[in-house]
Structure 1
Amino acid sequence: MIGGKEVYKAFIDTDIHLSILEPRHASELYEVIDENRSSISEWLTFPERTKEVKDSTTFIEKSLKRFASNNGYWAGIWHKGRLAGSIGFLYIDWDAKKTEIGYWLGDNYLGKGLATKSVERLIEHSFYDLELRKVEINVASKNLKSRAIPERLGFTEEGTIRNYEYLNDEYHDRVVYGLLQEEWRTK
């Protein structure tokens, strides 16, 4: 239990499970980020702010506060007992009954279906356990591998936010994907 709440843990198959990140995972999280810094930084900004284990600890503590206040969380994606990456709800809008899922993996874990299976599990959690109506995934328009995940899972491309962020000396557009509960249930 963390903050009076049952810690979220989900077994996807015999090799993959998700579990809320806790302070005891900070070193392992930092190692995965540090070992994959250049590839993760191609599309995400957090590796540049993650300079030591303490930064991972701070991130996890903030995530646990969001979890305790029922406003999202980050979980580790474990593959055969090793931390492979992370996935989470960036927020939960309880009035609109929607959330946004974010995810990333270390290079050694790409192409194994971990991200797709993990996103699928969080979609199920969103619609069946949390009773949300909509899940969004926002992806850099040029990040074709990441875009393939919502497309594979039946999301609708809802639009593009131009010049969404400045990263690696260029502006990146962001594609917004959405999936409604009724679309998932009829899939």
Structure 2
Amino acid sequence: MNKTFRNFKITLLDTGESERFFYLIDNNRSRLEDFFAGTVSKTKTLHDTISYCREIEQKILNKSYFPFIISDLKTDTFIGLIDVKNIDWNIPKAEIGYFIDVNYEGQGVISKSLRNVIEHLSEVYRFKKLLCRSNSRNIGSIAVAKKNGFILEGTIKKDYKTTKGEIVDLDYYGRVFS
């Protein structure tokens, strides 16, 4: 996927871009700690990130994980991530997660990027269902999901352990395709 809109571009993560990926995570680390715990824990240092990107490269080849990077073409920086994980090819369905750099919040970039990724997943991979999980306190993430056609399916109690060790409930939002 290589999609451009306004001055932004969405591409699959080039694992040779480990340093830029590290800085995206590092610049947003405190915001991401609780709900991108896996990514945050595997990118503590640039060296860790390089190793993690090698893992990601294999997952992309196996079609078990798709990390889409949002870049600002004006500044040539990574500004967001939409990751497709927990893929079940038998249905096919997947979980989708996303975040945008704090400096780009509220501009509609993540909503538009997610719309593009969803179209890509639906057309190319023929996913029948996508889901996203969110803590009910994450109003921004929920708004993005709803703007993209996701509907609350329910709340799973004690479903996720944050990096601080708190076990929290998560709201599950789903979107189905015919």
Q: Which residue of the partner structure matches residue 177 of structure 2? A: 181
What's the CA shift for 1:169? 4.6
Which one of the candidate residues 164, 171, 179 is aligned to 2:167? 171
Distance 1:38 1:95 in 2: 36
8 Å CA contact 1:77, 1:84 repeated in 2: yes
- The alignment-based identity, stated in percent, is 25
Counterpart in 2 of 1:71? 64
Q: TM-score, normalised by structure 2?
A: 0.89
Counterpart in the other structure of 2:30: 38
Structure 2 counterpart of 1:94 = 89
Structure 1, 47-56 or 104-113: larger mean CA deviation:
47-56
Contact 1:43/1:143 (8 A) holds in 2: no
* Contact 2:28 2:101 (8 Å CA) reproduced: yes
Q: Matches of 1:58 and 1:116 in 2, distance apart?
A: 30
Instruction: Verify: 1:22 aligned to 2:18, yes or no.
Output: no
Q: Distance in 2 between matches of 1:100 and 1:140?
A: 15
TM-score w.r.t. the length of structure 1 is 0.85
Unaligned runs of 5+ in 2: none
Alignment RMSD (CA, Å): 1.7
Structure 2 partner of 1:143: 138
Contact 1:141/1:172 (CA < 8 Å) preserved in 2? no
Q: Structure 1 runs of 4+ off > 3 angstroms?
A: none
Contact 2:15 2:57 in 1 (8 A): no
Q: Which residue is equivalent to 1:4? A: none
Q: Distance in 1 between matches of 2:99 and 2:33?
A: 10
- How much has 1:90 moved relative to structure 2? 0.7
Any idea what the Cα deviations from partners look like across 1:85-122, whole Å, max 9, x if unmatched?
A: 21121132111111111112221121111211121111
Q: Deviations over 1:100-154 (max 9, x none)?
A: 1111222112111121112111111121111111111111222111111111222
Gaps of 5+ in 1: 1-7, 183-187
